[in-house]
Amino acid sequence: MQQANLNEKEPMKLHYTPKSHFARKNRILLDALSIGVELIDVGNVADNNPEIFAHNPLMKVPTLIDGEQVVYESDLISQYIVKKYDPQDRYEVLSQDWESLNAQAVMNGVMTAEVELILAQRTGIDTQKYVRFDKFEATVLRGLQWLEEHASLFENHTYAGFHLVCLWEHLVLYQMFALNYPQLQRSVEQLSDLNFVKTSSPLTDQ
């Protein structure tokens, strides 16, 4: 296994925000693998300025910079980290199991729908007024129900579980949805107590 950042001049940089649930997937994985990274807080993700996003054309966090290599998208960043530093893939980041990949898609969809609602409200839109936002709300609710019915996917300490904790604690933080999903809650409780998960929680002072 390659030693993290040995012989490298610069540590990797992760452009993120402390509350970003997408970037937290990468932070939990990095902490689980004891890999150092320089965290760069981009500030307000609603801003329309590629410079603050390390020139990510999508103007979203996270973006990883490793020397000359730039990587966009949280799951691609996790794949990059594991391919470089954890070829055994102990947290199953590279899993090709279809149920797990579907769960990843559903979690990303729920997280994206929640972000749309949060950023719409942050930029002055009354989300109750437009039917488009009803669909985002329904996406979160249907997605959570699907995940509750597939909660057995989160029984082990794997990347899928880290992803779930990121999704869940962000929903707790923003309080837009009631969270009556006992199976998911049980999985989150088991994982959120691990030190490498706890340190990036948006629910505790960091």
The residue whose Cβ lies closest to ligand GSH is 60
Q: What angle do CA 57, 76, 40 make, to 5 degrees?
A: 60
Binding of ligand GSH by 61 (CB under 6 A): yes
Out of 32, 115, 140, 160, name the contact with ligand GSH by CB under 6 A. 115
Q: Which range of residues in 4-12, 57-65, 153-161, 185-193 is near ligand GSH by CB under 6 A?
A: 57-65
Terminus-to-terminus CA distance in the chain, angstroms? Answer: 31
- When asked if residue 168 is in the footprint of ligand GSH (CB under 6 A), the reply is no
List Cα–Cα distances, 65 to 11, 61, 70, in angstroms: 9, 12, 5
CA 133/CA 101 separation, integer angstroms: 26
In the complex, what is the shortest distance from the CB of residue 6 to ligand GSH, in angstroms, rounded to a whole number?
Answer: 27
Residue 3 CB, nearest approach to ligand GSH (Å)? 27
Residue 62: its H or E element: none
Contact flag: residue 93 with ligand GSH (CB under 6 A): no
DSSP letter assigned to residue 192: H
Chain residues in the site for ligand GSH (CB under 6 A): 20-22, 45-46, 59-62, 73-75, 112, 115, 119
